[in-house]
Chains A and B, each alone.
Chain A
Amino acid sequence: MKKLLKLSIACFALLASTASFAEIAVIVHPSNNAELDSNAISRLFLGKLKSFPGGDQAVPINLSESSAQTKEFNKNVLKKSGSQLKAYWSKLVFTGKGTPPKALNSDAEVIGLVSSNPNIIGYIDAASVTGDVKVIAKF
């Protein structure tokens, strides 16, 4: 148990230190003129809000749970730890009230999807941003 604890503290410290360097960009399709503050973005990714302020359907897309981007996004925007978030979604999934956003594996895949569909909203490492997408917030 002690070893496990030490190991998890070490992992946590390591992740925390690498993650703190990544700046996260929240991206949408270039034609999407939505203005969203951190609270609205959080509500979209928690399934509490289902459309952009203009009324168009909004579909949030995650990166994989273990990625540094997701950890940073969860911490700074959703203000929840991985376990808290998992518990939050368990409550919705197992009551048929909601499903977590689908997760893609890389920034490039998120850019690909966002640039082809005005309903998608995603987040990536700010360093990966290309001209195909529009950044609406940075954290």
Chain B
Amino acid sequence: MNNSVKFITATALAISSLSSQAEVRINGFASIVAGTSMDEDKSLYGYDDTLSFKPESLFALQVSSDLGDGLSATSQIIARGENDYDATFEWAYFSYAISDSTQLSVGRMRIPFYRYSDYLDVGYAYTWVRPPKSVYNLTFSTYDGASLLYTSTMGEWDSSLQLIVGSFEGSVNVLSDDDPAKLSNMYGINWTVGNYWLTARAVYMQADASISFVNDPDPTQQLNQFVGLLGAIGATDAANGLLIEEDDGSFLGIGVSIDYENFLIDSEFTRVEVEDTLIATQNQYYISFAYRFDEWTPYISFEHRKDENDDDYSAGLPTDLNLGGGPIDVRAAYQATLTSQETENDVFSVGARYNFHPSAALKFDYTKRERQTSDASALSVGLDLVF
């Protein structure tokens, strides 16, 4: 924490002293969210049945320096409650305004998966306590690379077209919360078009995905052993159909937002697929309605998520492999492994935002998640600030 802050202060000072035109701006945002699960022994979004502030609270500072002639440097340091408020640089990039309509950025930036990706952490910028998690479910959000942003106007329509290229290295959650992952050759196109009441958006991205199973929390390591067994009996295709090694990953997102006469509708659909791997193909959407009464904005949301595994390489596998300890139905075990990654849920939320201060909003939320196996619900109150 100290080191990051010292570094950034030093950087800021160095920049301001080196360039006579440099202008350093510091902005910040914070969210303090308190929540609790409504059921004993069940947790939702990191909340158990005791009141907790940690899972979603955060504090962030952004330092940007305008270096003149269209060049600027921006960095964002975020301290998250879920990481014991250890501060880390989540963004650090340079931007260059090639023209009034074209901006090139390089460095570490947000991946534009979702409509609210760019300001995912800036709670003040949206109505909910949190964006709908069934859709906003990818746990990594930044990449290293370049982004080209082209903005234009056609009559009363504003268009913003973004092309990205880069890579990601970090942890994701497939088996554990900390599975080492690498996304390389990442390309994406993100187009948003809107007028004064309607905004529509489409995004498509692809990358070569590699995710290691080394951190599988299963004490018996069944998955790794099973992959080993498949290799030993020469079922290479089947083994590769589980492993995530430079497999084709893709992300598709479509969204619509309406803000008309204080009536707000938001909806997004996303599809995430990593072909020929253990990972199930995810399809999910949400729709949210809200109405702005002066400073109060009540909302309701409905979310649906379904993960299904359709890459099945079990056809040629033996059903009665005998290694000495009795016959093993390898085909059934393979299918069960694929099925273990499938899930389906519905989520209902009701809540409200209250603008009690020009720079701060209070939010209240009740969310219930239903799965075939069990339901869970949580109550949360959040305070969002920008400064």
Assembly CA distance A90 to B27 (angstroms): 9
Contact of B110 among A12, A87, A90, A95 (CB under 8 A): A95
**A5 CB to nearest B CB, Å:** 9
Q: Using Cβ atoms and an 8 Å threshold, which residues of chain A touch B76?
A: 94
A8 pairs with B295, CB closer than 8 A: yes
Interface string of A61-104 (1 = CB under 8 A from B): 00001100000000000010111001100110111110100000
A90 pairs with B119, CB closer than 8 A: yes
Q: Using Cβ atoms and an 8 Å threshold, which residues of chain B touch A96?
A: 64, 72, 74, 93, 95, 105
Chain B interface mostly: strand
> Is A127 on the interface with B (CB-CB < 8 A)?
no
A83 pairs with B122, CB closer than 8 A: no
Q: Using Cβ atoms and an 8 Å threshold, which residues of chain B touch A6?
A: none
**Size range of the chain A interface in the assembly:** 20 to 34
- Contact A87 to B25, CB < 8 A, known contacts A94-B76, A96-B74, A96-B93: no
Assembly CA distance A87 to B360 (angstroms): 10
Q: Using Cβ atoms and an 8 Å threshold, which residues of chain A touch B386?
A: 86, 90
- Contact A94 to B295, CB < 8 A, known contacts A4-B356, A83-B358, A86-B358: no
Assembly CA distance A49 to B27 (angstroms): 23
Assembly CA distance A49 to B151 (angstroms): 10
Q: Using Cβ atoms and an 8 Å threshold, which residues of chain B touch A93?
A: 27, 62
Q: Using Cβ atoms and an 8 Å threshold, which residues of chain B touch A86?
A: 124, 358-359, 386
B100 pairs with A90, CB closer than 8 A: no
A91 pairs with B158, CB closer than 8 A: no
B119 pairs with A83, CB closer than 8 A: no
> Is B321 on the interface with A (CB-CB < 8 A)?
no
**Size range of the chain B interface in the assembly:** 20 to 34
B118 pairs with A95, CB closer than 8 A: yes
Q: How many A-B residue pairs have CB under 8 A?
A: 60
Specify the chain A residue showing the minimal Cβ separation from B296: A5
> Is A48 on the interface with B (CB-CB < 8 A)?
yes
Assembly CA distance A102 to B153 (angstroms): 24
Specify the chain A residue showing the minimal Cβ separation from B362: A1
Assembly CA distance A79 to B260 (angstroms): 12
Specify the chain B residue showing the minimal Cβ separation from A48: B158
> Is B355 on the interface with A (CB-CB < 8 A)?
yes
Q: Using Cβ atoms and an 8 Å threshold, which residues of chain A touch B74?
A: 96
- Contact A95 to B356, CB < 8 A, known contacts A48-B153, A50-B100, A90-B125: no
**B103 CB to nearest A CB, Å:** 8
**Chain B residues within 8 Å of A, Cβ to Cβ:** 25, 27, 29, 62, 64, 72, 74, 76, 93, 95, 100, 103, 105, 110, 118-119, 122, 124-126, 149, 153, 156, 158, 196, 294-295, 355-356, 358-359, 361, 386
**Supplied contacts A4-B356, A8-B295, A96-B105, 5 more A-B pairs, CB within 8 Å:** A8-B356, A83-B355, A95-B118, A95-B119, A97-B149
- Sample 12 A-B pairs with CB under 8 A, ordered by A number: A49-B153, A51-B100, A81-B355, A83-B361, A87-B126, A90-B125, A90-B386, A93-B27, A94-B29, A95-B118, A95-B119, A97-B103
